[in-house]
Structure 1
């Protein structure tokens, strides 16, 4: 009996060693680079794992893609309660790596009570006692900014939770240049998450003014929509080939790759690619072999943007 048990244990050990060897063989020699997050002292991978990637996936698939992302050098994960069941999927999948990762979450709550409720629920679903960055989600209208910073507003939750150790940094995401500038003037946020995209920048003049002020404030600058292009045509808005993208992404793979490289060529910390798994994997490939656009590549990209309808405009408050 003892001999059989010994042989069984030896077989298990051999299998474990073999599996470990295979795992080590997959570890890239060029892990995704990291950049400093503003004045925080944190170093984040230049590509984030957007939580929508695991939305509506089964737990096994979610665990696999998270493990692959970590293995390739991603340490920045971004999630929000509005991403369907993504928090439920990401929490268990990220748990084995949580201590080595930077987890950013968001709240749509604009007042103290509803934002606190969302925070506590997010912590429960994400299987963690804190998030590294907590952000006001899509802080777009000036009236929303007034609410969160006013008496009884969600900023009271943020500051209290920071003292409690449940969050470490405070930031916001935004789709309005005007509100972004006002928010940076009115509060000393640690980070800003906003669309920085080749079509928006050139066709709508959206982005340069945000980037400039965020740099002046020494904030962590996080970018959305680097692989986006335009709005879906009216006949495809409800039924289009990219169910995890509300906008039409740049052409796969060449235009999307160049669009992401264009975004990464600006003084940002990291970019969050679309939630579609194909685009996310492409983004990881781009990041592992990242090189700034050459002049002829940028010219070709921006020529392709001429006359394209941007997904946002200056003066948007939607």
Structure 2
């Protein structure tokens, strides 16, 4: 059954513990410069998964809530179900006021070019502010994307035509990320920057250092991830168990946002956790010593989602 906008917002409000969660508060999300692009964006991005499978009216309401609360960065990909189809109409009237990022998992030139055309059409826009190679995991992924008739050829041609302003990539391995950063002066790097993975085994540290060296801005994912699910999966839009207790979530998110050169964090795709992250970010400040020690204790028994591999 379709929920009316008021019912939808009320349900989210109740889930987050009060009406303030669904109305613009006095504070706003910090704005940060996205590395060498020079563009100022919100420190929290709305991932397209948030509106995936939502009725359009509810997606419209969520996007408007995000924008009214200071979110100017929106990220999506063709692999996120019907998120592109929901986000395009929802951004009507806002497109020239926000930063829109999209991705492609295609590694070949023809596939990437077609994916770009389809995404532009679905999102009802004539350009992307950022377009990214999506989910680089292995050396082969990087080699294929940069090889003859690879995806990077299509991306760079699209950039020359004005269809893309900036170029980035997302990766789930340090090896692939570091290799990509050696191949091209990317504007952005999307990578898991997670308290448990970084504190326990250093996953992401080398990429942070390399990105800082090259001037690439880091877009952090999985900041509010805890560990693998054990038993019932309680949040359907998260393949991992997220931090659902607000105090723990805010420690983890603030930790991630304080890692240089992290500029933006993309919260979980669950709408309740996304809105929690927005509210947390409004009062962002770096962790104090005692808070970091508390986060280290929280990480201690956890199995990191992203182990460091040789």
TM norm structure 2? 0.90
2:228 is aligned to 231
SS at match of 1:39: helix
Does the Cα contact within 8 Å between 2:244 and 2:273 map onto a contact in 1? no
Tell me the CA shift for residue 28 of structure 1.
4.0
- The 8 Å contact of residues 227 and 242 in structure 2, kept in 1 or not, is answered as yes
Q: Is the 8 A contact 2:28 2:70 kept in 1?
A: yes
Question: Is 1:36 aligned to 2:33, yes or no?
Answer: yes
Report the counterpart of residue 18 of structure 2 in structure 1.
none
Instruction: Indicate whether 1:276 and 2:273 are aligned.
Output: no
Q: Which residue of 2 aligns with 1:7?
A: none
User: Are residue 262 (structure 1) and residue 255 (structure 2) matched?
Assistant: yes
Root-mean-square deviation (CA), in Å?
Answer: 1.2
Residue in structure 1 matched with residue 50 of structure 2 by the alignment: 53
Gaps of 5+ in 1: 1-25
Select 1:108's aligned residue among 97, 105, 109.
105
Structure 2 gap ranges (5+)? 1-22
Corresponding residue number in structure 1 for 2:282:
288
SS in 1 for 2:92: helix
Tell me if the contact between 1:203 and 1:307 (Cα under 8 Å) persists in the aligned partners.
no
Q: Kindly name which structure, 1 or 2, has the bigger radius of gyration based on alpha carbons.
A: 1
Secondary structure of 1:73's partner? Answer: coil
Deviations along 1:181-218, one digit per CA (max 9) or x if unpaired, are 11111111111000111101012220111101100001
* In structure 1, C-alpha distance between the alignment counterparts of 2:201 and 2:112, rounded to whole Å: 32
CA contact (8 A) 1:148 1:154 kept: yes
Matched, 1:249 2:242: yes
Structure 2 CA distance for aligned equivalents of residues 253 and 29 of structure 1: 20
Q: CA deviation at 1:30?
A: 2.2
Residue 178 of structure 1 contacts residue 314 of structure 1 at CA under 8 Å; is this kept in 2?
A: no
**Structure 2 counterpart of 1:305:** 299
SS at structure 1 position matched to 2:110: helix
**Equivalent residue in structure 1 for 2:73, among 73, 76, 82:** 76
Q: More displaced, 287-296 or 87-96? A: 287-296
Q: Secondary structure at the match of 2:155?
A: helix
1:201-241 C-alpha deviation (Å, 9 max, x unpaired): 012220111101100001111101110011112x44xxx11
1-side partners of 2:208 and 2:71: how far apart?
24
CA distance in structure 2 between the aligned counterparts of 1:220 and 1:211, rounded to whole angstroms = 9
Residues 1-318 of structure 1 aligned to structure 2 (within 5 Å): 27-233=24-230, 235-236=231-232, 240-267=233-260, 268-315=262-309
Secondary structure in 2 aligned to 1:151?
Answer: coil
How many correspondences in the alignment? 287
Aligned 8 A contact 1:28 1:71 in 2: no
Task: Give how far 1:27 is off.
Answer: 4.9
Provide the secondary structure at the position in 1 that maps to 2:172. Answer: coil
What SS does the corresponding residue of 2:280 show, helix, strand or coil? Answer: helix
